[in-house]
Amino acid sequence: MTSAFTGLLAYPITPLAEDGSVDLDGLAGLVGAAVAAGVDGVVLLATSGAGVSFDDAERDAVVRVAVAAAGRAPVHAGVAGESAHRVVARARAAVDAGASGLVLPPFAYLPLDDAEVRALYARVATAVPGAPVCFYNKPVQLGFDVSPDLLATLRDDGSVVAVKDPASLPSRPAGRVAALRAAGVVVGLSGDPALTDGAEPADAWHTGLAALAPAEYVAVRRARVGRSEAADAARTWLHDLARAVAATGRPLAALHAVATLLGTPTAPPRDALVPLTAADGQALRDVVARRP
């Protein structure tokens, strides 16, 4: 089993029916459309997919349906859990369901230190040997920011092949991508506002909006070297949409709203305790209406 975690990786939401159950047909539609538009892979059950809000049976169904819808395109699965035991169980289940690779953040009740992170990733590597793992770095949310030195250690341990890193943080030094590459891992960036507005070149883009507007994102990714009028229009629209999503302060709820506006009806995410305001909803509608 191999996976480079390179190119444009789309992170679909997990669509929900009005009763809160998983809309597997809606998910299959999102995955199939993204692959048909030319994305290089799909990542399920991570932040955009609200993976921690689903039980084991739902997660299994999500992975199996997406793998079938994706055809030959790689499908990766987020396997965050509240304990190492749960992470290992989810990793095994995802691989059994056909996932090509795993995306794992250093999630825990309390922030982990380097030794604990190394132990967590080693347990996953032992449990699912040969399954490539991408380190999902979420320093703002999890209180842990992976260093290039630790990534090199994880690579040498055989437990990590790639990293997903925020494209823009105020504390980030210049040359972050180069430093991560020096660790010997594939470097991917996330954060739609930055990706659509001059982020450092990287081996991969990890993005939720690419699953909702894949044709536009594929055009922008392919035109990152050179320019075209069509790609410029798509970039401007995606950047405006990314900023509107971020401005809500509730990006997961906003992605569900955008999905509905773009033709995949879905109930709000299970863990969205406060709905979008009317003003936020209108701002999203205004941007979607300008789709080139």
Query: Catalytic amino acids?
Result: 136, 164
**Residue 169 Cα distances to 8, 116, 174, angstroms:** 21, 24, 11
Nearest to 24, CA basis, from 217, 262, 248, 266: 266
Cβ–Cβ under 8 Å, residues 214 and 39: yes
Nearest to 43, CA basis, from 204, 187, 167: 204
3-state secondary structure of 14: coil
Backbone angles phi, psi at 210, to 5 degrees: -65, -25
Q: Please state, in angstroms and rounded to a whole number, the distance separating the CA atoms of residues 189 and 179.
A: 13
Nearest to 48, CA basis, from 32, 30, 68: 30
Cβ–Cβ under 8 Å, residues 119 and 153: no
